[in-house]
Structures are given as C-alpha cells and as structure tokens.
Amino acid sequence: MNWKFPRRIWLFLAASFSFGLGQAFTMLFLNFYLRALGLDASLQGLVNAMPAFISALMSIPAVLVTRRFGEVKTLKLGIGLGFVGIGMLAIANGAPLALAGSLVQGIGSALMMVASSPFMAAETSEENRVPLFSLQMALSTGAGFLGNILGGQVPSLYARYASVSSDSLPAIRAAIIVAVIFQLGGMIPAFMISSSNRKAPVPYKRMEAFRIEDKKLMGKLILPNILVGLGAGATIPYLNLFIEAKFSINYSQLGSLFGWTSLATAATVLIQPRLVRRMGQIRAVVAVQTASLPFLFLLGFSPAFSLVVLSLFTRGALMNAAGPVFSAFAMSQLPDGDRPMFAALNSMSWNIGWAVAATLSGVFRSFFGPAGLLDAFRWLFVWTILMYALSMLMTYLFLVPRRQKMIL
C-alpha cells in the first residue's frame, strides 16, 4: 500500500482536519446549546435531524451539481454553505434561526458528501485508495479529539472571564463561535485546491444524470446503511445528554471523554489497512462492526462509569473505523459513472435513517420527561443494537463472497 498523495489531496485533508475541529465543538455542545436557548426535547430532536433530512433531500440534486461542475467546485460550494450554516446557529436566539442554520448546513453537507469520495477516488489508485480513505477518517476523528478536549474548556474559561455560569447561554455560545472560526480556517486550504484537468461530464439529457449502470450492486451497498442510520440516530447524537444525566459530569470532563473516544477511533482507522490485507475489505468491515455490539450494550446498560467509558471508546472506534474501508470498497467495485450516485444514495440512505430516528427519539424522550430520561434511553439502546445487528447481517449476506462466508 502506498501513502504518497498529490498536493490537492493534502489540501483536502487539511480542510477536513479543520472542519473536524469545528464539528467536534459543535456536536459536543449542540444539545446543551439548544437547551439553553429554551428548546424542548422534541425541538432539539428536530434541529439534530434537520441537517440529515436536508442532506438526504439534496443528495440526488447534488449529483447533478457534481456531474455538471466537477468534484472540486462542488466541494468548495458545500464547504462555504457549511460555514454559513454554523454561523447562523451561533447567532440564533431561538428555534427559527437554529433550524435555518441546520437547513443550510444540511445542503452544504450533501454537496460535500457527494463530492468527497469521488474526488479522493479520482486522485488515487487501487494501491493507495484504502490508505487515503483511512487517513482522511483518522484526521477527522483526530481533530475530534482535539476539538472535544479544547471545547470542553471553553465555557468555563468564558464563564470566568465574563462572570457568568459555565452552563449559561453566553458561555456555551462561545464554544459554538470557536467552531465557526475553525470552519472558516478549513475554507482556506479547500479554496486553494485547483480544479481538475478531468472534464466534468455534462449529461446530454437531464435524466441521464440519474442513470445507474450496476443497480444490483448499488442496492446491496446502500441497504445496510439505511439500518445503521436508523439505529445510530436514536442514541448517538444524544450521548452527551445520556452520560451527563447518568453520571452528572461537567462539560470539561465530558469534552475529555468524547475527545479520547475520537482519538481511539483515529488509531483504529489507521490500522484498518493492515486488517484489510489479512481479511479483505468487506470481511474486515463485518468483523469490526460485529465486535462493537457488546460494547454498545455495555454503554447503554452498565451502571459502572469505568465500563461506560471503555465501551464509549471501543464502540466508536470499531464502528466508525469500518466506514472508510466500506467507501473504498464501493468506489473500487462500482463503475466510474456510478461513484457520485453511490455517494449521494449512501449519504441519503444514512441521513434518512438518522433523521427519522433522531426526530422520533426526541419525541419518545419527551413522553418520559426529564425524570424518565434514563428509562427512555434503555429502550432506545435496544433499538440501536437491533438495527446495527441487522445491518451487519445484511452486509455479510449481500457482499461477502460466498466462498469466504464459511471461514468468516
């Protein structure tokens, strides 16, 4: 395997790292920020789900944009919209602007998701594709480590400076503003990426932009991801609320906890290429995702803080590390013309599942009320485990070659 990449890729990786820092700040404090704005659990769920809903709706139009203007221009547009969206969130004083910011972020996310994988695939060969996809994921999650560690300190630092409570709206808003600054920093290397010499295909007929050459393989690649989204959306965006309620830890401790989780994921992603060499791409995906299920159970049901911490580290590392390998596998198996469509459908399927589950999770928790929050989460974790298990079974049945299933 080859770890040498062109300058355009290194600029893209730099942008991914800076955006990862901003996203870590945002995700750590989003639910607390929305709570400080006065939004109830149902509205919190809607704001969490909005980017995924919009990203899903925009994924197919994003394919048209990518095929018309190319991956680089689409990436730049998506990055710009993502910055505008987080900026709107940072100045929100209630639900309307928070929802609008999430909507703009969703459009930007759709453009970036559809263009990123084809861009990386076009700039690499079979020899260095898996290392690049793994490195990009590792840098993003490594940025999550730094973002969470640093982000956890911002409200308390601001609180001391402004003589306010660390859980007040101004203190938490300060962390969101820092996220805006990091996302602005990510725009600089992104806009330095030169346009490709490869001419973007312009379909003669509009409907040709939606053509899929290998529909059967596309379906097998997409269906498991729908189940992952349905499972993840119910619990993962609310882990900060769950852990805070269960163990009463402060923002600094919570930031450190999620930071080390991101670092564990980054380390696991970087060893994935070696695992792929030993097992093959899809068998490696199924193996590491299946190994995450016991830790997901401990995360949801263990009364011991130490076991929950261990499970948080390990589950995230194993489940997320499989993503870049699966994407690299899909890019290598699909015809060139199907790659943007896969990126769109893969993003759309996951986002639809995530958005539906995140919205219903908020409604479900609102029925239990603040006093019954932990009881609600027990049912939600059962749902997540079931959806993950079904997804892994589907991946195994659909994509592992028949001759290899007996030795998996």
Chain centroid, CA 210 distance in Å: 25
User: Looking at the domain assignment, is residue 303 inside a domain?
Assistant: yes
User: Looking at the domain assignment, is residue 205 inside a domain?
Assistant: no
Average pLDDT over residues 138-145: 78
Instruction: Report the CATH number that the domain containing residue 313 is assigned in CATH.
Output: 1.20.1250.20
Amino acid at 308: V
Question: Tens of pLDDT along 194-246?
Answer: 876 454 444 445 445 567 777 888 888 888 888 998 999 999 888 988 998 89
User: Looking at the domain assignment, is residue 203 inside a domain?
Assistant: no
Question: Tens of pLDDT along 148-193?
Answer: 788 788 888 888 888 888 888 899 899 899 989 998 888 999 899 8
- pLDDT at 269 (0 to 100): 63
Q: How far apart are CA 28 and CA 33, in angstroms?
A: 9
Lowest mean pLDDT: which of 33-47, 79-93, 194-208, 311-325?
Answer: 194-208
For residues 7 and 338, which has the higher predicted lDDT (pLDDT)? 7
Are 135 and 86 a contacting pair, CB within 8 Å? no
Residue 254's nearest CA partner among 150, 162, 339 is: 150
pTM for this one? 0.66
User: Looking at the domain assignment, is residue 317 inside a domain?
Assistant: yes
- pLDDT at 276 (0 to 100): 67
User: Looking at the domain assignment, is residue 278 inside a domain?
Assistant: yes
- pLDDT at 403 (0 to 100): 45
For residues 49 and 305, which has the higher predicted lDDT (pLDDT)? 305
pLDDT at 105 over 50: yes
- pLDDT at 278 (0 to 100): 74
Average pLDDT over residues 21-45: 85
Q: How far apart are CA 29 and CA 25, in angstroms?
A: 7
User: Looking at the domain assignment, is residue 199 inside a domain?
Assistant: no
Average pLDDT over residues 65-72: 84
Average pLDDT over residues 135-155: 80
User: Looking at the domain assignment, is residue 382 inside a domain?
Assistant: yes
DSSP 340-375: HHHHHHHHHHHHHHHHHHHHHHHHHHHHHTGGGHHH
pLDDT at 407 over 70: no
Band (300; pLDDT cuts 50, 70, 90): very high
Surface-to-core class of residue 84, CB atoms within 10 Å of its CB (0-12 exposed, 13-18 middle, 19+ buried): middle
Q: How far apart are CA 174 and CA 153, in angstroms?
A: 11
Average pLDDT over residues 307-321: 82
The range of the structural domain enclosing residue 50 comes to 7-192+214-405
- pLDDT at 261 (0 to 100): 74
Question: How many domains, in total, are found in the chain?
Answer: 1
- pLDDT at 408 (0 to 100): 46
User: Looking at the domain assignment, is residue 207 inside a domain?
Assistant: no
Mean pLDDT of the chain: 82
pLDDT at 3 over 70: no
